[in-house]
Amino acid sequence: MSQKEETKKEETKKEETKKEETKQEEKKEETKKQDLVTPYEIKAVSETGIDYDKLVDRFGASMINEEMIEKLTEIATKKGIKLHHWIRRGLYFCHHDLHRIIIDYEQGKPFFLYTGRGPSGQMHLGHLVSFILTKHFQDIFGCAVVVQMTDDEKYLWNRKFTQLQIHKFLMDNIKDIISVGFDPEKTFIFSDYQYIKEMYPNITKVQRAITFSQVKGTFGFTNSNNIGQVAFPAIQIVPCFSSTFPKIFENFPKSKSKKSRGFNCLIPCAIDQAPYFRQAREIAYRIKEKKPSLIYAKFFPALQGHKTKMSSSKQTTAIYLTDKPNQIKNKINKHAFSGGGRTKEEHEKFGADLTVDVPYAYLKVFLEDDELLEEIRVKYGNGTMGTVQVKRTLIETLQKIVKKHQETKAQVTDETVELFMTPRALKFD
Ligand code: TRP
């Protein structure tokens, strides 16, 4: 190659690199304008929080529509249960293939529910949401539940914790989860550290099916992530395949499908967990497994406002399941971001801005009484009801819920925990 040719080649190469760089810069600028939603970081662009419509589009999910709510109501009513207000009020707002589960149910085919928790500290009310909904589905569908405790994940992501500390959180959190009321004959709770051996063959199947470049794209991993983190998604993915639990599902009818093994799974979770399960859906058929169905919840806001999620490390951002009545009162009064008018006059004139008001958002989640909630929406919204009264209603509601939880948890013994964690054949009916 001549000198000239070589310089030319180098120049084109430089140009290409430059182009590539601008492209990446543009992409960065573009993502800056989007809400950031990954299992590890959440950041909304707007004051009012995440734009869920856009997120549903980006994630290729579908909104839960009226028809689906009617169908679920019908199923619940047959069991004498009122469909959970979180579905009626849109806290659980979108899904992937939820209709498949409904069809399985109607045809008497087996399916199971899967959800989980990373034990990184004491639990707050927001942490309980997925478990309460999963328990509700267990009641209306009568199906089995598996709960993954990702103690390994929390170790990999938190340098400040020892494995012993995480183990303590694990045992304590499991008591909180059991207190939600799961059926001991139909529920298996497992720690990754303890159950890894059974999952490992499937984990390596999933790991072989996903490239580094794919996880970089889906989870935003970079060269500075540790290698345990890079490999972790496979561990959270495998429990959605029934073949991971041969012993647990021993009593379940075997599927005859040649295309894929086992039976369907429905995962209730918050939308930040979507990357794991979108990745699972992408590779499922390649490893002859069924794509999991999902039902996603919106984030539960921090007391300080909709822009953030509650944090396990900041006590004042959330109501903890261990909080005393007085702590609940003080937190709401001091920290719950209010959308009410700044002065009495202003409030009476313009009413409260319910789109940013945290006490109202919490009431939508925890106040079961539909009529009272509607009265608050109207009167607080038009300024005839004041912030003090709304906060008082919220304080009383939460004090009652937390107290009841604490009483139930006090009854959960170490033996009960062991029972739920013992690998055993779950009941199928
Ligand atoms: N990664 C989740 C957390 O940090 C825990 C988890 C594991 C999970 N498997 C899940 C959550 C399935 C929802 C569904 O809390």
Mean pLDDT of 337-356: 93
Pick the atom of ligand 1 nearest to 270's CA.
13
pLDDT of residue 158: 95
Of the CA atoms within 13 Å of residue 126, those in its CB half-sphere come to 19
Is the C-beta atom of 385 inside 6 A of ligand 1? no
Give the whole-angstrom CA distance, residue 290 versus residue 253: 16
Q: Is the domain of 96 the same as that of 59? A: yes
The answer, yes or no, to whether residue 202 has pLDDT greater than 70, is: yes
Cα 153 to middle of ligand 1, angstroms: 9
Mutate to test the pocket of ligand 1, among 42, 199, 236 (most ligand atoms within 8 A of CB): 236
| CATH code, domain carrying 224 | 3.40.50.620
pLDDT of residue 85: 97
Pick the atom of ligand 1 nearest to 154's CA.
4
| CATH code, domain carrying 368 | 1.10.240.10
Q: Is the domain of 193 the same as that of 64? A: yes
Nearest CA to ligand 1 atom 6: 116
Burial of 207 per CB tally in 10 Å (0-12, 13-18, 19+)? middle
Nearest CA to ligand 1 atom 4: 118
Is the C-beta atom of 236 inside 6 A of ligand 1? yes
Summarised one tens digit per residue, pLDDT across range 110-164 is 999 999 999 999 999 999 999 999 999 999 999 999 999 999 999 999 999 999 9
Mean pLDDT of 227-241: 98
Nearest CA to ligand 1 atom 5: 117
Mean pLDDT of 326-347: 94
Mutate to test the pocket of ligand 1, among 113, 232, 269, 281 (most ligand atoms within 8 A of CB): 269
- Smallest Cα–Cα separation from 267: which of 120, 145, 180, 412? 145
Instruction: Identify the domain boundary among 275, 302, 329.
Output: 302
Burial of 120 per CB tally in 10 Å (0-12, 13-18, 19+)? buried
pLDDT of residue 79: 96
Average pLDDT, the chain: 93
pLDDT of residue 35: 83
pLDDT of residue 426: 98
Task: Flag whether 115 is in a domain.
Answer: yes
Q: Residue 351: enclosing H or E segment and its boundaries?
A: none
How many CB atoms neighbour CB 2 within 10 A?
7
Mean pLDDT of 356-367: 96
Is the C-beta atom of 118 inside 6 A of ligand 1? yes
Tokens of 163: 């494995």
Task: Flag whether 38 is in a domain.
Answer: no
Q: Is the domain of 162 the same as that of 256? A: yes
Domain count, the chain: 2
Q: Is the domain of 159 the same as that of 74? A: yes
Cα 29 to middle of ligand 1, angstroms: 30
Q: Is the domain of 231 the same as that of 367? A: no
Task: Flag whether 26 is in a domain.
Answer: no
CA angle, 112 then 189 then 134, to 5°:
45
Please state the length of the chain: 429
Contacts 24+ apart (CB under 8 A), 314-318: 318/124, 318/125, 318/126
Q: Is the domain of 82 the same as that of 154? A: yes
Q: Is the domain of 108 the same as that of 249? A: yes
Q: How confident is the model at residue 25 (pLDDT cuts 50, 70, 90)?
A: low
Domain hosting residue 367, numbered range: 315-409
* Residues β-bridged to residue 115: 147
- Model pTM score: 0.90
